[in-house]
Structure 1
């Protein structure tokens, strides 16, 4: 028996809608204009959402994903594909607003002759439904149009920009260069090889090096003048970290507020063997810090405390294969 959702009391409706996941809300919104209006009004009446919306543009498809702040799960909520991929699935498709549509793994897929147009349509649909700006962007060297398009459609800068690696460092460098110089993003990630072309760009507030970060050197670490820096799968050594800390104590990397270094699993175990001249003090204090890109507070369990020449202190936490450093600037993190 059909559920009379549009004739249900507001209190009951709010409870039902609150149980829906982002992909379920997008799917339900396609049922009718009235259901879409209902979901849109409900979502935009709520307190500011902790959901983050990302746009993904790939050679043969575009998609919209949402990270749910409650559990940090990333969910694809809508996808655009080329008509050529519809072959063999025509019998499963339905038509909506002139577009063929199927469902894959719990989210709707719309088919278009033009990938760019299709990607724009689904992004516009989801951002309008939830009242969200685009927070994250995943692109490759063929997707520069996304940067100008996003800049023209919203005032808020991207919180995260990821360059796909096509095994050609120069391709990724072009993406990262464009993202940084266009001021389209506060955060840039890449799994491209580290190179002088990237190091010499204006540093974004948040920089993430992934996958090929094993090529990163101590010199790279000292040159990345970002506020928040992540380096994954690196082969930096304890000696390199001592050199970096000496550089920081002397006034280097002045903008740094958060550093996370995750070491390659093939590297020797990361032992806490710091040089005495760094004057690290052992500590077990737990301190709260504010995320740079988000208005959220997290806690860090300290192992060591270190102080710069100008009196600024930092807390260091060491894990099995990671090094975390939080700098306590006078004006907050």
Structure 2
């Protein structure tokens, strides 16, 4: 078989030492050389496998991995019909049950060419899970190329690993239930990130799972008070929201009663001006003046200086939350709970 992989033109070295230093990309590419190479990659245990794997469905069907906040591309899937063979002699590999898959290096890692892109990305996904001996951490869903792509992606996730930790959606719904289908059929356990702009009258057919660590939405106009009160999350970030001061008052009382006990931060961009008298109505609080500055450290270790605000204590455990005071023209609601990620509490 012709190959693009020139690996061991080296003096003798213990194989594990070599694999420890090649990194995730090379380890995956090595596994495509032959069945023996695949077996070696599967049995290997070491730092080249210490990665967070992500799979992307849609206009870019590809695999990636994360190191810190940096993303690195591994393999991507393209239509075989788009491949021009003029003056090209591409290497071919076996992936899953498919032989003779043309490959070449591209901008998003290694290009692989398939008759059916969904077959390609799922076969590659199964191969990567086997090589790295782990499930995918995040699934990213983008605009579908064919009508059944979202359904096929959800079915593959369910059948291959059951659930994922993080779900990221960034697609334009073609029919009203596109978003519903993903939220109902992909089981996510830690993070939900939605960049989807649904129809103006959108309301989820079933309550989404909001008992997770992180909820982040760019188009959250459909989130109502009842949705907010079901969120038992550490970090909630909502943009383009239609929530009102009355809704935030209900949430504050909800939190003070012991609900949403995991909360560390609630940040909401709203259409209407925040009325802090309404937000704080019926709640005991201490007003801090602007000369009182406190530094809040979030989960990504970003430092935020909080000046003044309103401190409210939860009676059951004396945990303190601060609602920032944005003044009379604020359309930004921020509620943080102490201690922060750096264990700062600023106790009186």
- Do the structures match in fold with TM over 0.5? yes
Match of 1:143 among 120, 128, 150: 150
Name the count of aligned residue pairs. 309
Residues 255-289 of structure 1 deviation map (CA, whole Å, 9 limit, x = unaligned) = 5423342537x998x99997484414657677889
C-alpha contact 2:55 2:139 (8 A) present in aligned 1: yes
Q: For 1:90 and 1:278, locate their aligned partners in 2 and report how far apart those are by CA, in whole Å.
A: 76
Q: For 1:84 and 1:95, locate their aligned partners in 2 and report how far apart those are by CA, in whole Å.
A: 16
C-alpha spacing 1:234/1:103, structure 2 compared with 1 (3 Å): same
Residue 116 of structure 2 is aligned to residue 101 of structure 1: no
Unpaired runs of at least 5, structure 2: 1-5, 95-99, 327-331, 340-348
Q: Within 5 Å, which residues of 2 pair with 1:58-207? A: 58=58, 62-68=61-67, 71-87=68-84, 91=88, 93-97=90-94, 98-105=100-107, 107-139=109-141, 142-154=149-161, 157-168=163-174, 169-179=176-186, 183=187, 185-193=189-197, 195-197=202-204, 200-206=207-213
Partner of 1:52: 52
C-alpha spacing 1:248/1:191, structure 2 compared with 1 (3 Å): same
C-alpha contact 1:191 1:210 (8 A) present in aligned 2: yes
Larger mean Cα displacement after TM superposition, 75-84 or 7-16: 7-16
C-alpha contact 1:230 1:261 (8 A) present in aligned 2: yes
Partner of 1:27: 29
C-alpha contact 2:27 2:48 (8 A) present in aligned 1: no
C-alpha spacing 1:24/1:89, structure 2 compared with 1 (3 Å): farther
Instruction: Classify the secondary structure of the residue corresponding to 2:149.
Output: coil
TM-score (norm 2): 0.67
- Aligned alpha-carbon RMSD (Å): 4.5
Partner of 2:3: none
The structure carrying a bigger helix percent of its residues is 1
TM-score (norm 1): 0.70
Q: For 2:206 and 2:213, locate their aligned partners in 1 and report how far apart those are by CA, in whole Å.
A: 13
C-alpha contact 1:238 1:272 (8 A) present in aligned 2: no
Q: For 1:92 and 1:232, locate their aligned partners in 2 and report how far apart those are by CA, in whole Å.
A: 50
> Of the two, which has the highest radius of gyration?
2
Unpaired runs of at least 5, structure 1: 292-296, 329-333
Match of 1:323 among 319, 330, 334: 334
Larger mean Cα displacement after TM superposition, 118-127 or 138-147: 138-147
Residues 38-64 of structure 1 deviation map (CA, whole Å, 9 limit, x = unaligned) = 55555x234983x221221216x5211
C-alpha contact 1:5 1:13 (8 A) present in aligned 2: no
Q: For 1:79 and 1:48, locate their aligned partners in 2 and report how far apart those are by CA, in whole Å.
A: 19
